[in-house]
């Protein structure tokens, strides 16, 4: 009995021809022949060249933005918030030594009143008797506030409104002298200049100074080696740059002031 189904007939493919297309439509061969495109060599890191260029440009833009932002922030901080100053003289020793570096808070007196005992940096130029060639800013301690009267009392001590001033920030035995010429000082031209309220029952005593409104009386802690308000008169409050609040150099003397 014979089958109704014919046996399949095998067809031989010539040796030089390509194999028939596959069922997925991809065609025969590996694409390296005439019908396909040969892929180029891949980058060593596997990233296309165009991608590397875009990444480099993006990194350049990001770093540029960061640098500009850092510069702007530094300018804002120096102009409105904090500024570093170098101590060039011995007038504030032993509190501040030559070569010390300090930070000044420029916002302090926008937030609270000036306090006696504060160490301040102020501009020399607005204070006529203080301005000297080559000196722009000075650092001193606030001793008397507007309307207060400073005199010498007891054994070379300071009195404010006839009360002994506690100056615990000074080493023991420090001698403070107040010129008997106050409320006048001798100007650079040799003339006497009134720098405090005039002498009178409600004014300055002879050998003392009633601090005028809008000014403060400042002195250096090194009382025997400081050109301060005793020689130059009180300074304008408006000339104060800010309050010295921390020593940042040298590191072995780092600390608040």
pLDDT of residue 172: 92
Please return the burial class of 53, using the count of CB atoms within 10 Å of its CB with bins 0-12, 13-18 and 19+: exposed
- pLDDT category, 179, cuts 50, 70, 90? very high
Any idea which of 44-48, 66-70, 124-128 has the lowest mean pLDDT? 44-48
Domain segments of the chain: what residues? Answer: 114-240
What's the mean pLDDT in 233-249?
96
Phi then psi dihedrals of residue 249, to 5 deg:
-155, 140
pLDDT of residue 73: 81
Which whole-number Å values give the CA distances from 117 to 132, 143, 217, 244, in the listed order?
25, 6, 11, 11
Q: Which two tokens stand for residue 54?
A: 């875009």
pLDDT of residue 12: 46
**pLDDT per residue over 143-176, tens digit each?**
999 999 999 998 899 999 999 999 999 999 999 9
Q: Are 199 and 192 in contact (CB under 8 A)?
A: no
Catalytic residues: 91, 140
**pLDDT per residue over 72-93, tens digit each?**
888 877 777 899 999 999 999 9
Q: What is the CATH number of domain 114-240?
A: 2.10.109.10
Residue 219, SS3?
Answer: strand
Does pTM top 0.95 for this prediction?
no
Of 213, 205, 195, which is closest to residue 130 (Cα–Cα)? 195
- Residue identified by tokens 């030559």 is 98
Which whole-number Å values give the CA distances from 34 to 22, 27, 31, in the listed order?
18, 12, 8
pLDDT of residue 24: 46
Q: Which two tokens stand for residue 196?
A: 């405090």
Average pLDDT, rounded, for the chain: 83
Q: Are 244 and 98 in contact (CB under 8 A)?
A: no
Alpha-carbon 219 to chain mean position? 25
Cα–Cα distance measured from residue 40 to residue 29, given in angstroms and rounded to the nearest whole number = 18
Helical (H) or strand (E) element with 194: strand 192-194
Q: Are 156 and 175 in contact (CB under 8 A)?
A: yes
CB atoms under 10 Å from CB of 157, counted, come to 17
């Amino acid at each position: 009995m014979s089958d109704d189904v014919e046996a399949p007939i095998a067809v031989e493919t010539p040796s030089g021809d390509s194999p028939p297309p596959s069922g997925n439509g991809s065609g025969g061969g590996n694409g390296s022949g005439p019908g396909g495109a040969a892929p180029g060599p891949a980058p060593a890191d596997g990233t296309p060249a165009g991608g590397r260029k875009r990444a480099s440009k993006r990194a350049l833009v990001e770093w540029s933005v960061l640098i500009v932002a850092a510069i702007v922030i530094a300018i804002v901080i120096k102009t409105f918030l904090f500024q570093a100053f170098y101590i060039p003289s011995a007038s504030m020793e032993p509190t501040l030594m030559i070569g010390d570096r300090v930070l000044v808070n420029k916002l302090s007196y926008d937030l609270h009143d000036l306090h006696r005992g504060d160490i301040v940096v102020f501009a020399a130029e607005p204070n006529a008797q203080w301005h000297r060639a080559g000196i722009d800013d000075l650092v001193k301690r606030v001793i008397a506030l507007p309307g207060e009267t400073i005199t010498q009392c007891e054994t070379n001590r300071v009195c404010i409104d006839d009360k002994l001033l506690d100056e615990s920030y000074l080493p023991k035995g420090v001698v403070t002298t107040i010129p008997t010429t106050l409320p006048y000082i001798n100007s650079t031209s040799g003339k006497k200049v009134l720098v405090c309220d005039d002498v009178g029952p409600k004014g300055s005593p002879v050998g003392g100074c009633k601090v005028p409104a809008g000014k403060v009386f400042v002195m250096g802690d090194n009382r025997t080696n400081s050109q301060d308000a005793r020689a130059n008169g009180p300074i304008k409050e408006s000339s104060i740059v800010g309050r010295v609040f921390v020593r940042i150099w040298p590191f072995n003397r780092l600390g608040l002031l």
